[in-house]
């Protein structure tokens, strides 16, 4: 077997491993095979076997995964990543890089980076935006926290699934930006639902109202994409769980508190998304959060 030149730079002797084959991880792991042989691990092992059959990856045990040069994770929260780091730590290869694409917590990122450094492993927080469709298309936005030199070494991996890959600061910064991004998305979604509910109560037709908003200054990604594709047609099928969005806004709220910031709109959004999670459901698609606003106004946004 050919020895790789340097564990940091991506070379043909290297192997990647992807842990967490959910809505995002499944297509992201598939893209990695364009660059490197890719091991996959999933809590429900059958999904890893299926992934191997579908995309030419290789289903692996945790001890096999620990020997990879690049380990990527995409799990619900930092808590699940903590657990995997604890399990893999004794077997990790010095010089390898752990890239966490979970929408995690900046404090966890800093703790995890310090823990991995004890084994000579570098850590990057690299959460993504763009949803399962962006992941399939390989056009995700990847917001990366960590040392610039490490990011440049792994950039080819990130670009297999990322259309825009940007360093946003030191370890933890990627998670911080992602939390704000998703809180803004939640704010736009809920405030648009409020606006359209009021318009419906006034007897306005929603589709032309949305069309003209989308040609006006009140538009957003929620108005341009989410309402048309998932709300007005009642499909609610963007494949991003409401519980995960509420988690992200909760992280943003904790970050506001940590720096003693003043962000009442973000705080309100975090609380409203928590309320929606409790009233509409945690596993349901996040676009169904508008059903809480519908109930407040006794209207359906259709
Ligand atoms: P999914 O719910 O689709 O998948 C979750 C994955 O995590 C599955 O592979 C699941 O395994 C695994 N998992 C859950 N609990 C554990 C555990 N205790 N131990 C080990 N593995 C576990 O999530 P998504 O792919 O939607 O989201 C993943 C991350 O990406 C989240 O942080 C989310 O906020 C973020 N994200 C999601 C986007 C989306 O549009 N869906 C967009 C951008 C970011 P199993 O198959 O066994 O259940």
Alpha carbon distance 35, 81 (integer Å):
24
| Each residue's pLDDT tens digit, 108-164 | 999 999 999 999 999 999 999 999 999 999 999 999 999 999 999 999 999 999 999
C-beta 228 within 6 A of ligand 1: no
How far apart are the CA of 8 and the centre of ligand 1, in A? 27
Alpha carbon distance 225, 165 (integer Å):
22
**Residues catalogued as catalytic:** 178
| Each residue's pLDDT tens digit, 21-57 | 999 999 999 999 999 999 999 999 999 999 999 999 9
Report which protein residue has its CA nearest ligand 1's atom 23. Answer: 22
Residue 10, pLDDT score: 76
How far apart are the CA of 2 and the centre of ligand 1, in A? 35
CA geometry: angle at 241 spanning 240 and 243, to 5°?
140
Asked if the model's pLDDT at residue 3 lies above 60, the reply is no
Report which protein residue has its CA nearest ligand 1's atom 19. Answer: 80
High-pLDDT (> 90) share of the chain, %: 96
Report which protein residue has its CA nearest ligand 1's atom 7. Answer: 75
* Average pLDDT score, the chain: 96
C-beta 254 within 6 A of ligand 1: no
Question: pTM (2 decimals)?
Answer: 0.96
Asked if the model's pLDDT at residue 9 lies above 70, the reply is no
Ligand 1: which of 21, 74, 237, 245 to mutate, most ligand atoms within 8 Å of CB? 74
Residue 11, pLDDT score: 80
């Amino acid at each position: 077997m050919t020895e790789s030149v340097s564990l940091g730079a991506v070379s043909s002797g290297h192997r990647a491993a992807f842990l967490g084959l959910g809505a995002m991880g499944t297509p992201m792991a598939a893209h990695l095979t364009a660059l490197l042989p890719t091991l996959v691990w999933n809590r429900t092992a059958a999904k890893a076997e299926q992934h191997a059959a579908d995309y030419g990856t290789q289903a692996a045990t945790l001890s096999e995964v620990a020997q990879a040069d690049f380990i990527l994770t995409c799990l619900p929260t930092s808590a699940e990543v903590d657990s995997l780091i604890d399990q893999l730590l004794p077997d990790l290869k010095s010089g390898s890089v752990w890239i966490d694409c979970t929408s995690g917590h900046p404090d966890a990122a800093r703790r995890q980076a310090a823990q991995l450094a004890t084994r000579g492993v570098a850590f990057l927080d690299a959460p993504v935006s763009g949803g399962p469709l962006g992941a399939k298309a390989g056009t995700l936005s990847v917001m990366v926290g960590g040392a610039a030199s490490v990011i440049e070494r792994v950039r080819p991996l990130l670009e297999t699934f990322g259309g825009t890959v940007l360093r946003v600061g030191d370890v933890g910064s990627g998670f911080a930006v992602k939390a704000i991004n998703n809180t803004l998305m939640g704010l736009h979604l809920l405030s648009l639902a409020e606006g359209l509910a009021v318009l419906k109560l006034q007897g306005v037709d929603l589709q032309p109202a949305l069309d003209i908003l989308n040609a006006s200054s009140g538009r957003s990604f929620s108005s341009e994409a989410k309402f048309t594709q998932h709300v007005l047609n009642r499909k609610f099928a963007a494949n991003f769980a409401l519980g995960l969005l509420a988690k992200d806004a909760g992280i943003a709220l904790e970050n506001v508190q940590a720096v003693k910031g003043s962000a009442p709109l973000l705080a309100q959004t975090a609380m409203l998304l928590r309320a929606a999670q409790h009233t509409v459901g945690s596993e349901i698609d996040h676009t169904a959060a508008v059903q809480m606003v519908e109930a407040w106004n006794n209207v359906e946004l259709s």
